[in-house]
Structure 1
Amino acid sequence: MPEDAPWAAKVESDDQRDRELFERLHHTIVERQLFLDPNFSRDTFMELGLLNRNKAARLLKLYAGTNLSGYINALRLEYAEKLIQEHPELQIKVVALESGFSNVRTFYRLFWEKNGVTPSEYKEKL
């Protein structure tokens, strides 16, 4: 694309605005720990950024590299790891629920996929 093309600046400007929007949304979700709500949904995400479904999906894919479920679960797993490290006395089921997972099996499966060990094994290695 020629650099002096009239649409080139608009594309760069739109990309920058999209990145800033995603970063604001991410900051809000992390700061307010909205990911801990087991009912966090696509609608919640769309309302936060005043986005339509397609734009929300595009932003997540582009800047988080995944869909909403993958993005939220990654934040929950990070939180769960921190909980296990800071509060090893907590039962794994409590960690799962406190991290926003409504299904303990899903928590175990995703934890294993990310870390290659179960949450209990992770805890033992601390």
Structure 2
Amino acid sequence: MDALILLLPIALLLFLILRGRKQQRSVSDLQASLAVGQRVMTASGLYGTVVDVTDTTVDLEPSPGVRLTWARAAVARVVDEPSTTSPTEPEALPPVSGGTAPGAAGTADEAPERHDR
């Protein structure tokens, strides 16, 4: 029984270490297989398209004409491109009558009465 109490934490620690190494290896493999044209996300959350790859850096294009150089290790994952069969854009909301924002008063006559004075 005492051996089981000792082996359980050791087994848990071993499991956590092996799982961490597996995740680290998969991220390393992803960074090694970067190719021009892939859409990626950096660890800080920047989305961009790979335009150039060197041994230590990767050039990303977050929007047309903007080119940023990042450390290759900063790339966290490859992002799937949205499919062309996705739902259409949502319909526009109808215009608000009155020309003012909800809750805003247009003139002094329309202003709500204040009871805090």
Greater fraction of residues in helix: 1
**TM-score when scaled to structure 2?**
0.34
**TM-score when scaled to structure 1?**
0.32
Q: Which has the larger radius of gyration?
A: 2
Higher relative contact order (CA 8 A, sep 6+): 1
